[in-house]
């Protein structure tokens, strides 16, 4: 049992990511159109709840490292999952956007104890080998949950109502977060009397949650920009149901494009998570940005079939935002600096989500179409590639390697 426990931790982390990112974040776009129609609001207004959610995720992230050193995650995660799930359920009884904003604030502050830096820290502690594969699997679970749940919620919206769909989503969050984290989750192998997969670390006294400090240099600027570019792209995932309606790629329901996108999200995280273990985080990130850029051109110029393929390819953006950031940070900073580097990555991603979720909704309201937004996606890909090279240039300058 002890030898298998790292994989039990991995399974628990997958469920947490599926609930926190797969349902709360990745499925948010499914509810945009029906809520807009019932409340009579604009795209930017409904998108603002995503902004509030991510702003308070940034605030909550500032406290996570201190809190998890004081309290065991076995108690933290179930409590946070309960709060996030009940907040989601309460949206089924909402009658104004104000209620959505309040719930977004509550969910944002507590969801960082369900996902956030806890997942990569746990993976780093429990896997000294195949860490890229394990982190890719946890990131993939968000895509799998998003793909399955967005299709389910889209069907419920069509056949019942968005209120029924969001009620089911809240129940799913409770089921996926509370039981497994209470019975199985542990941040470090020593809590369970186990050893990491791949054996003990070469320097066991060097804790992965050390107190190393990071000074602002080109590496920090680069990782922030990479995370921001990935987040700018990932926000567009929420617009696929509306994009499907505007382009006529409706198939069974408008949400089907989002489901295709989530399957791409899942596929790239499985394949490219493992690819990190073989060709490294730098090359994997560059290939991911290349695929993302190609998908943007296909969305702009493609026919219905190419748009569906592009929606799948576009799912690679979530890999960059959720998996590549932590892996790049692990590659560039020392182990004692890794927790702080993770905080920088997570805050950058969430703050970018907060800003860009509103900005992209406002730009759509301004232009009334998605083509200009897709050209901005192309620009962000170019910027992201540039800062990947700058990140490793800063690493060589700092460490005097390669």
What is the reported pLDDT for 89? Answer: 95
- Of 111-120, 169-178, 369-378, 389-398, where does mean pLDDT reach its minimum? 389-398
pLDDT, mean of residues 364-379 = 87
Instruction: Indicate the pTM of the whole model.
Output: 0.74
What is the reported pLDDT for 401? Answer: 47
Q: Which 8-state DSSP code applies to residue 75?
A: H
Q: H-helix or E-strand containing 104?
A: helix 97-111
Could you give the CA distance from residue 105 to residue 54 in angstroms, rounded to a whole number?
Answer: 8
- Give the pair of three-digit tokens for residue 310: 């592009």
What is the reported pLDDT for 378? Answer: 94
Q: 10 vs 131, which has greater pLDDT? A: 10
Is the C-alpha dihedral spanning 56, 59, 62, 64 positive or negative? negative
Could you give the CA distance from residue 231 to residue 278 in angstroms, rounded to a whole number?
Answer: 25
Tell whether the model's pLDDT for residue 209 goes beyond 50. Answer: no
Q: What residues are paired with 127 via a beta bridge?
A: 197
What is the reported pLDDT for 289? Answer: 95
Could you give the CA distance from residue 225 to residue 73 in angstroms, rounded to a whole number?
Answer: 30
Q: 213 vs 159, which has greater pLDDT? A: 159
What is the reported pLDDT for 213? Answer: 66
pLDDT in tens, 303-329: 888 888 998 999 898 888 888 888 898
Architecture of the domain delimited by 5-190+209-399: Up-down Bundle (1.20)
pLDDT in tens, 51-81: 888 889 888 888 887 788 788 888 899 999 9
pLDDT band at 255 (very low <50, low <70, confident <90, very high): low
Tell whether the model's pLDDT for residue 207 goes beyond 50. Answer: no
What is the CB-side half-sphere exposure of residue 133 using CA atoms within 13 A? 12
Beta strands in 51-210 (DSSP E): none
Mean pLDDT of the chain: 83
pLDDT band at 151 (very low <50, low <70, confident <90, very high): confident
pLDDT band at 376 (very low <50, low <70, confident <90, very high): very high
Beta strands in 265-369 (DSSP E): none
Q: Where are the domains of the chain?
A: 5-190+209-399
Q: Could you tell me which of 201, 395, 118 has the C-alpha nearest to residue 280?
A: 395
Q: Could you tell me which of 14, 11, 21 has the C-alpha nearest to residue 322?
A: 21
pLDDT in tens, 230-247: 988 888 887 887 787 777
Q: 279 vs 47, which has greater pLDDT? A: 279
What is the reported pLDDT for 212? Answer: 55
Q: 272 vs 399, which has greater pLDDT? A: 272
What is the reported pLDDT for 205? Answer: 47
Tell whether the model's pLDDT for residue 343 goes beyond 60. Answer: yes
pLDDT, mean of residues 117-140 = 83
- Of 84-88, 149-153, 286-290, where does mean pLDDT reach its minimum? 149-153
Q: CB-based burial of residue 184 (10 Å sphere; 0-12 exposed, 13-18 middle, 19+ buried)?
A: middle
pLDDT, mean of residues 23-47 = 84
pLDDT band at 22 (very low <50, low <70, confident <90, very high): confident
Q: Above pLDDT 90, what percent of the chain?
A: 25
pLDDT band at 393 (very low <50, low <70, confident <90, very high): confident
**Rounded to the nearest 5 degrees, what angle is found at the Cα of 335, between the Cα atoms of 334 and 341?**
75
Tell whether the model's pLDDT for residue 156 goes beyond 60. Answer: yes
């Amino acid at each position: 049992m002890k030898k298998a426990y790292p994989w039990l931790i991995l399974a628990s982390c997958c469920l947490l990511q599926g609930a926190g990112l797969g349902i709360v974040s990745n499925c948010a776009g499914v509810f945009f159109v029906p809520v807009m129609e019932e409340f009579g609001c604009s795209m930017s207004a409904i998108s603002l709840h995503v902004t509030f959610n991510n702003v308070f995720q940034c605030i909550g992230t500032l406290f996570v490292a201190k809190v998890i050193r004081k309290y065991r995650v076995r108690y933290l995660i179930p409590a946070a999952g309960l709060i996030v799930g009940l907040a989601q359920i309460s949206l089924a009884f909402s009658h104004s956007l104000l209620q959505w904003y309040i719930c977004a604030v509550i969910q944002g502050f507590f969801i960082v104890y369900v996902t956030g830096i806890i997942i990569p820290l746990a993976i780093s502690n429990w896997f000294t080998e195949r860490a890229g594969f394990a982190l890719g699997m946890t990131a993939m679970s968000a895509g799998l949950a998003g793909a399955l749940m967005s299709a389910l919620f889209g069907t419920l919206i069509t056949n019942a109502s968005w209120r029924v769909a969001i009620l089911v989503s809240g129940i799913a969050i409770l089921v996926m977060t509370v039981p497994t984290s209470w019975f199985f989750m542990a941040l470090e192998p020593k809590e369970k009397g186990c050893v990491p997969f791949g054996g003990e670390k070469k320097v066991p006294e060097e804790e992965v949650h050390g107190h190393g400090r990071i000074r602002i240099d080109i590496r920090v600027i680069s990782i922030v920009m990479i995370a921001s570019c990935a987040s700018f792209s990932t926000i567009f995932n929420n617009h696929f149901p509306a994009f499907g309606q505007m382009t006529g790629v409706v198939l069974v329901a408008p949400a089907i494009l989002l489901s295709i996108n989530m399957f791409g999200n899942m596929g790239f995280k499985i394949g490219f998570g493992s690819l990190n273990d073989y060709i490294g985080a730098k090359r994997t990130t560059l290939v991911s940005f290349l695929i993302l850029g190609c998908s943007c051109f296909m969305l702009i110029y493609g026919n219905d079939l190419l748009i569906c393929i592009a929606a799948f390819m576009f799912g690679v953006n979530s890999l960059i935002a959720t998996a590549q950031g932590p892996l790049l940070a692990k590659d560039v900073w020392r182990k004692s600096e890794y927790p702080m580097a993770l905080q920088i990555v997570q805050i950058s991603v969430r703050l970018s989500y907060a800003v860009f979720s509103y900005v992209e909704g406002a730009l759509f309201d301004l232009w009334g179409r998605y083509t200009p937004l897709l050209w901005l996606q192309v620009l962000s890909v170019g910027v992201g590639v540039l800062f990947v090279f700058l990140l490793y240039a800063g690493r060589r300058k700092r460490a005097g390697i390669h």
